[in-house]
Amino acid sequence: MKSRVLSGMQPSGRLHLGNLSGALSNWTKLQETYEGYFFVADWHALSTNYSETTQIKTLTREMVIDWLSAGLDPNKATIFIQSDLPDHAVLHVLLSMITPIPWLERIPTYKEQQEQLEDRDLSTYGFLGYPILQTADVLIYNADFVPVGIDQAPHVELTRAIARRFNSLYKPVFKEPQTLLTEAPKLPGTDGRKMSKSYNNAIYLSDSEKTLREKLRTMVTDPARKRRTDPGDPNICPVFDLHKVYSSTPVIEQVNCECRTAKIGCIDCKQFLAETLVTQLNPVWEKGCAIRKSPAMVDDVVQEGAKRARMTANTTMQKVCKAIGI
Ligand code: SF4
């Protein structure tokens, strides 16, 4: 029996290189050694975007296409959409009965996100309670591991605490999942800030080759390197940060050396990076194209995933109801 790993992603926008090099490439590795459950967290997207829902179905579908294009394999992993499994909501209600409010209020991301998203009214129960929904997402499948970045680790701790509370109040039903800390490289966007759709600086998986090349062409570099003959400093150049993630060691060494001596210009350097990225993204683009030509394939994947997920979720819910006595 393989250990089970579970993770989800909110359909809040198109996926970019930062998502590919972070969560997504991690998932494609995890599916080889774990029993993977990967889901589109469309209900979670409502916790901060409840007033703008027109795109949610399209983004959900596009997200599944991006996952499959990037190598997530429905023959190896269970891929599904959260809202296809109402049992997540039922377990959320039951767990919310036993979760003290201060446990939710002290989750660091609760205050942080409220401050960051000050244009929205996040004084809702849905926003305060979404870590309980996350807990339900994990516990309903008895996941052994939850892959998260360090900022999400308190959410897994909360999941463990709620599982312990349930097990001691009623009967031992839930496993306490472990955190699988994942390190994602910090990818700069075209303006040098962290790559993010909110900064409008991202290179998307669905960008065409032409768009990708154009975005790289205008990407910021070492600001002190104004002329072709000026030597540059790769350590302060966002283009070099992308080289470090995507290029081969000989190319990284060449750029590191020849930028400092002005042997290469930024146009040459970006050209090397463009060739590398095009080579690496070509299979993703080709797969995406093929999937878009047969839309029924996406429906099949998520329906089959929901079917498999439902069997596990139903078994857990029977134990939960029996333990509570309802
Ligand atoms: S040559 Fe490359 S690493 Fe050096 S400043 Fe230009 S883009 Fe950056």
Band (pLDDT 50/70/90 cuts) for residue 183 is: confident
CA of 214 to the centre of ligand 1 (A): 16
Residue 258 CA: nearest ligand 1 atom is 1
Question: Could you tell me if residue 13 is left (phi over 0), alpha (psi between -120 and 50 degrees) or otherwise beta?
Answer: left
118 has pLDDT over 90: no
- Measured from the Cα of 219, ligand 1's closest atom is 7
Residues with Cβ within 6 A of ligand 1? Answer: 221-222, 225, 232, 234, 237, 239-240, 255, 259, 264, 266, 269-270
Distance 187 CA to ligand 1 centre (A): 16
Smallest CA separation from ligand 1 atom 1, residue = 266
- Asked whether the domain spanning 207-288 has the same topology as the one spanning 4-187+295-324, the reply is no
| 207-288 classified as CATH 1.10.240.10 | yes
Reading the block at residue 144, the tokens are 């052994």
Does the pLDDT of residue 30 top 90, yes or no?
A: yes
> Would you state the pLDDT for residue 198?
77
Q: What is the mean pLDDT of the chain?
A: 94
Q: Tell which residue, 40, 41, 37, 39, has the closest CA to residue 2.
A: 37
Average confidence (pLDDT) over 78-100: 98
242 Cα: distance to centroid of ligand 1 (angstroms): 11
Strand ranges inside the chain, DSSP E: 4-9, 35-40, 77-81, 145-148, 178-181
Secondary structure tally for the chain: helices H, strands E: 14, 5
Mean pLDDT of 173-184: 92
Q: Is 295 exposed, middle or buried (0-12, 13-18, 19+ CB in 10 A)?
A: exposed
pLDDT for 85 equals 98
pLDDT of residue 184 exceeding 80, the answer is: no
**Nearest atom, ligand 1, residue 264 CA:** 1
Q: Which bin fits 200, alpha (ψ -120 to 50), beta or left (φ > 0)?
A: left
Residue 4 CA to residue 58 CA, distance in Å, equals: 29
pLDDT at 98: 98
Residue nearest to ligand 1 atom 6, measured at CA: 266
Class of domain 4-187+295-324: alpha beta
Atom of ligand 1 nearest to the CA of 270: 7
**What's this model's pTM, rounded to 2 decimal places?**
0.90
Lowest-confidence segment of 20-24, 79-83, 115-119, 169-173 by average pLDDT: 115-119
Find the helix packing angle between 266-293 and 238-246, rounded to 10°: 50
pLDDT in tens, 200-250: 899 999 899 999 999 999 999 999 999 999 999 999 999 999 999 999 999
Domain boundaries defined on the chain: 4-187+295-324, 207-288
Question: Ligand 1 centroid to 127 CA: how many Å?
Answer: 43
The pLDDT of residue 276 is 96
> Span 155-161, mean pLDDT?
96
Number of the ligand 1 atom closest to the C-alpha atom of 238: 8
Residue 279 has pLDDT above 90, yes or no: yes
